[in-house]
Amino acid sequence: MGGLVTKLMTLYFGVDNLETLSIVWLDADDNVLKTNASVYKQFCSITEFIHTFKEAAECEAHIRRAKYDRIILIVDGQLVKDTLKHIHDLKQVISIYVYHNKAIHEDFQWTSTFKKVKSLSTQLTEIAKQIKTENKWQSRIKDSLPITIAERTSSGIDGNFLHGQLLLEVLDQMEEDAREKKKLIELCRDTYKDSPAELTRVTEFEENYRADMALWWYTRESFVYRMVNNAFRTENIDVIVLFRSVIHDVENQLRDVQISSAIHVYRAQLMSEKELALLRRSVGELISINSFLSSTADRNYATFLLESSANSKMERVLFEIDANPNLSKTKPFADVSSHSSFPDEKEILFMAGSIFRLVNHSEEHGVHTLRMVLCGEEDHDLKPLFDHFRKEINQEDGRLSLVILLAKSGKTQAAKKQLELFLKKLTDKTGNVSYENHLLRTMFDDENAGDFDFHVNGLKFQLAVSGEQILFCHTPTTYNDHFFNASHYRNMGDINRALSSYEAAVNSYRQKHKENHENIARSLLSMGHIYMTIAKYDKALFFFQQSLCLIENFLNNDQLILAACHDHIGSAYCEMSEYDLALDSLEAAFRIKSQLFPPDHSQIAICFDLMGGVLQKKRDFSKALSLYKQAADIYQKSLPSDHPFVVHIMDTISILRKEHSLTLLYPSPRRFCFLLLISTTISLIVAYTWAYLEEL
C-alpha cells in the first residue's frame, strides 16, 4: 500500500433556501395565459408565485422591488425590446424566455447577445418544459452534496471513507422483504400527508413501480428523488435500507446503459467558503460523493446555472469531471436520457459512492473550477484496506453484515435496530455461532468496551428471548458451553466458578484445535478482566499480556482484539500506579483504533477517556481535561444524554475542573516549594538591585 495513511472528513455542501422563485409574465394580451389552463397548471407546479403584467414599466418596477427573489421572466415578443435593456442585468432575474404567437422571425435574433435569454418560442408548452428543467437543476445545485475526502496525514486512516463505500455493497447483499416495502410506502405517505399531489404519486409508485422504471422514478420531480438523496445527505440508515431496492435497480440500469467511451462533463454546485477552502487544500486526494451525482455535458448550461446564482452568499463551484468507463471496477455512470422523465436534458448520472481524484483548482470571474477524475477500485492505494474491511464485515446474511458495518462506523443505535430485525428473522439454530463471534467484536463495544463476556451475554440473552438458544449448559462439553457458562457465573457473582469455566473453555479448545485462535485470546482477556474487578491487578496483567503475546505471535495481529489487549494492559498498569507504562499501552491502542474506526466512533472516545484518567492520576489536569472534552464530544454525538458513559464523562469533567482550579490556587507541596524558591530568588535580586542603586 506504499505507506498510505489518510484522514477523512465528511462535508455537507448546502445553502439556505430562503429566496423565493417566481415567474413574471409580461404580455400586452393578458388573456394568453388565462386561455392556456394546462400551461398555467404546469407553471403552478414549478412555483405558486406567478405575477402577470401588461405594462413594461409596471413589470420593471415589480422586478426591482423583488431584489431578493429569483425571477424567471416570460416576455411577449412585442415588448421584449423595451424590457431587456432595463432589466437584463438585474441580479434577481435569472433567466428570460421570449414568447411570440407568430412564427419567430430573424428580427428577434438580436436577443442572442443577451446571455440570460434562454429561448425564443411560439409554444408555451415548450417554454414550460424548459423552465421545469431549469428549476430542477437550480434546485440540485443548492442541494447538500455529501462528500468524503481521503486526506493523507501522518495520523493513520479512519473508516468513514471505507464504510461509506461498503454500505452500498452491503445493501446489495440484503434480501428483499415484503414487510419493508410496506413500511416504505407507509413512511412516504406519512412524510407527504399534507401534499395531495405527492400522495397520488406515492400510490402510483406502490401500484406501478418496476425495476426497469427505477431511473424514470429517480429523475422525476417526486418524493423518490427527494427522500433518497436526503437520506444519503443525512446518513439516515433506516430510509436508505427501505429504499435499497430502488438504489439497486438504479445501479443496474446505469450498468445496462453505461457509456462506452470516455466523457468530459460538468456539475454546478454552491458551497460555503469554508467547504471550498477544504476542497482546495485537498487537491491530489481522493473524494467519494456519497449520493447520486447529476451532471451535464453542456458547459455553457452549467455555467449559466452558476451565473443565475450570482447573488447567492455561497461560493460558485464548477466541477469538471473526466470519466473513463474502461477503468477496472468503477461505479457505473450513464446518459440517462432514454430512461429519464426529462428525456431532452441529456443528464449524465453517476452512481452513489463514486470515487474521484481532485486534480486541480482554478478561479475566474468568481467561479471556482475543480477538475476531478473518476477512479476505479484498482486505481488507488486503498484497495488492500477495502479488502480487509470486506473480510471484517462479510456474512452470509446481508443484514448481519449491515449490523457489523454500522457498529464499526459508530452508528450504534442504527446497528441495534438492524440487529433486532435480524434476530426476528433468525430461525436456524445451527447457524448462530459465527454470527455471535463477529457481533461480540463489534455490536456491544460501545456499552462495554473490552468486556467480551458481557458482549456474549447480551447477545445470548436476546437469542434466548427469541427462542433460539439456551443460556446455560448443565453438561458443558465444548468451548462455547464453557464460555457461556463462565459468563453466566460471572453475572451471578460467582467469580471462582467463572474462572474455572474460562479455564475449562481454554483447555477444551486446545484439545481440539491449535492454540492460535482468537477464542483463546478472548478467554484470557476475560479471565484478566475478572481479576481486575477483584483488584488483583498483577494477575490481571499476566493474563492480558498472555493474550497479547498470543495475538502478536500467532493470530496475524488481529487488530480489534490487539487494541483491546493494549486497553486492558494500560488499565492494569494505571491501577498499579505505573502511569507511563499505562500511557504507552493506551496510546498503542489509540493508534490501532484510529486505523479501524471513524474519528467520531465511541471506541476513539474510550481511548481519550482512558488516557485522560491516567493523566488525571498523574495530576496533569490540563491535558486530562482536554482529552475528557474530546471524549465527551464523541459520546454526546453517538449516545443518548442519559447513557452511563455520557453521565460519567460530564461528571468527571465537572470534578476535574474544580480540582484544576484548586491546583492553580493551592499547588502541590513540591510545586509550592518550587514557586516559593522562584519568588524568594526574585525578591533577593530586587532587594540587591535597590541596595546597589542606593549606594550609587
The CATH number of whichever domain residue 472 belongs to comes to 1.25.40.10
User: How many domains does one find in the chain?
Assistant: 2
Same domain, 360 and 435: no
List alpha helices for 426-494, DSSP H: 433-442, 452-465, 479-492
Query: What does the pLDDT average to over 393-397?
Result: 70
pLDDT > 90 fraction of the chain, expressed in percent and rounded: 22
pLDDT at residue 695, rounded to an integer: 52
Do the Cβ atoms of 185 and 239 come closer than 8 Å? no
Same domain, 474 and 355: no
Same domain, 330 and 476: no
pLDDT at residue 114, rounded to an integer: 79
* Closest by CA position to 95, among listed 75, 125, 81: 75
Return the higher-pLDDT residue of 105 and 328: 328
- 250 domain-assigned: yes
Same domain, 364 and 471: no
pLDDT at residue 463, rounded to an integer: 39
Query: What does the pLDDT average to over 525-538?
Result: 86
Query: What does the pLDDT average to over 179-186?
Result: 92
* Closest by CA position to 542, among listed 522, 527, 523: 527
pLDDT at residue 661, rounded to an integer: 64
The DSSP-derived string for 45-100 is: HH-S-EEEES-HHHHHHHHHH-TTSEEEEEEETTTHHHHHHHHTT-TTEEEEEEE-
CA dist., res. 320 & res. 302, Å (int): 10
* Closest by CA position to 613, among listed 646, 644, 570, 666: 570
Mean pLDDT is highest, among 10-14, 143-147, 167-171, for 167-171
What is the CB neighbour count within 10 angstroms for residue 616?
A: 21
With the CA atoms of 272, 276, 278 and 281 taken in that order, what torsion angle do they form, in degrees rounded to the nearest 10?
-160
The DSSP-derived string for 308-347 is: TTTTSSSEEEEEEEEE-TTSTTPPPEEE-GGGSSSTTS-E
- 670 domain-assigned: no
pLDDT in tens, 606-633: 889 999 999 999 989 889 999 999 988 8
**Residues in Cβ contact with 251 at an 8 Å cutoff, skipping those fewer than 6 apart:** 168, 172, 331, 332, 351
Same domain, 338 and 476: no
pLDDT at residue 480, rounded to an integer: 61
Of the listed ranges 43-57, 242-256, 611-625, 671-685, the least confidently predicted one is 671-685
353: CATH: 3.90.176.10
Mean pLDDT is highest, among 25-29, 121-125, 214-218, for 214-218
pLDDT in tens, 1-26: 333 333 333 444 443 333 467 888 88
- 6 domain-assigned: yes
Of the listed ranges 34-38, 120-124, 414-418, 544-548, the least confidently predicted one is 34-38
Work out the burial of residue 512: count CB atoms within 10 Å of its CB; fewer than 13 is exposed, 13-18 middle, 19 or more buried.
Answer: exposed
Query: Is pLDDT of 662 > 90?
Result: no
Same domain, 387 and 454: no
Return the higher-pLDDT residue of 306 and 591: 591
Last residue of a domain, one of 394, 416, 446: 394
Mean pLDDT is highest, among 28-32, 549-553, 676-680, for 549-553
Residue with cell 488507488: 380
Q: What is the CA radius of gyration of the chain?
A: 32
* Closest by CA position to 568, among listed 523, 610, 603: 610
Return the higher-pLDDT residue of 679 and 225: 225
pLDDT at residue 164, rounded to an integer: 80
Query: Is pLDDT of 219 > 50?
Result: yes
Residue with cell 519568588: 679
- 471 domain-assigned: yes
- 67 domain-assigned: yes
Same domain, 264 and 143: yes
Last residue of a domain, one of 351, 370, 394: 394
CA triplet 244, 246, 251: central angle to 5 degrees?
95
Collapsing DSSP states into helix, strand and coil, what is residue 616? helix
pLDDT in tens, 225-275: 889 988 998 889 999 999 999 999 999 999 999 988 999 999 999 888 888
**Residues in Cβ contact with 80 at an 8 Å cutoff, skipping those fewer than 6 apart:** 98, 108, 111
pLDDT at residue 41, rounded to an integer: 78
Cα–Cα distances in angstroms (integers) from residue 583 to residues 206, 587, 611, 612, in the given order:
58, 6, 6, 9
Same domain, 8 and 110: yes
Same domain, 437 and 576: yes
Averaged pLDDT of the chain: 76
The DSSP-derived string for 245-304 is: HHHHHHHHHHHHTB--S-EEEEEEEEE-HHHHHHHHHTTTSEEEE-S-EEEES-HHHHHH
Query: Is pLDDT of 680 > 60?
Result: no
Query: Is pLDDT of 677 > 80?
Result: no
CA dist., res. 498 & res. 513, Å (int): 22
pLDDT at residue 88, rounded to an integer: 85
pLDDT in tens, 282-325: 898 889 999 999 999 989 888 877 877 665 677 899 999 999 99
Same domain, 278 and 154: yes
Same domain, 136 and 266: yes
Mean pLDDT is highest, among 181-195, 408-422, 517-531, for 181-195
- Would you state the cell numbers that stand for residue 207, as one nine-digit string? 401500484
Q: How many residues does the chain have?
A: 696
pLDDT in tens, 452-493: 333 433 344 333 333 334 344 444 455 566 666 766 677 667
Long-range contacts of 171-180, Cβ-Cβ distance < 8 Å, separation of 24 or more: 171/240, 171/241, 171/244, 171/247, 171/248, 171/398, 171/402, 172/244, 172/248, 172/251, 172/398, 173/398, 173/401, 174/241, 174/244, 174/398, 174/399, 174/402, 175/398, 175/399, 176/245, 180/241, 180/242
Query: What does the pLDDT average to over 193-198?
Result: 84
Range of the domain at 451: 426-643
pLDDT at residue 585, rounded to an integer: 92
pLDDT at residue 1, rounded to an integer: 34
CA dist., res. 287 & res. 381, Å (int): 13
Same domain, 304 and 451: no
- 239 domain-assigned: yes
Of the listed ranges 94-98, 375-379, 469-473, the least confidently predicted one is 469-473
- 45 domain-assigned: yes
pLDDT at residue 87, rounded to an integer: 83
Question: 378-413 as b/e, with b when 16 or more CB fall inside 10 Å?
Answer: ebeebeebbeebbebbbbebbbbbbbbbbbbbbbbe
- 130 domain-assigned: yes
Return the higher-pLDDT residue of 134 and 496: 496
